[in-house]
Amino acid sequence: MVTSSNMIEIRGLSVRFAGHEVLKSVNLDVRRNEVLGIIGPAQSGKTTLLKVVNRTIDDTPDVSVTGSVHVDGADIWKLKDLPALRRKIGMVAPLPVGLPLSIFDNVAFAPRMAGLRDRHEIEARVERCLRKAALWEEVKDRLDSLGTRLSGGQQQRLTIARALSHDPEILCLDEFSIAIDPVTTMRIEDVLKEMRSQITIILVTNLVQQARRLADRTAFLLNGELVEVGSTEEIFSETPADQRTFQYVRGIFG
149-159 pLDDT, tens digit per residue, is 999 889 989 99
pLDDT in tens, 86-120: 999 999 988 777 788 999 999 999 899 888 899 99
39 pairs with which residues across the strands?
220
- Supply the pLDDT for residue 99: 81
- Supply the pLDDT for residue 137: 95
pTM of the model: 0.91
Amino acid at 173: L
- Supply the pLDDT for residue 1: 44
Domain 6-249 annotated CATH 3.40.50.280? no
pLDDT in tens, 183-207: 888 888 998 988 888 899 999 999 9
3-state SS track over the chain = CCCCCEEEEEEEEEEEECCEEEEEEEEEEEECCCEEEEECCCCCCHHHHHHHHCCHHHHCCCEEEEEEEEECCEEHHHCCCHHHHHHHEEEECCCCCCCCCEHHHHHHHHHHHCCCCCHHHHHHHHHHHHHHCCCHHHHCCCCCCEHHHCCHHHHHHHHHHHHHCCCCCEEEEECCCCCCCHHHHHHHHHHHHHHCCCCEEEEECCCHHHHHHHCCEEEEEECCEEEEEEEHHHHCCCCCCCHHHHHHHCCCCC
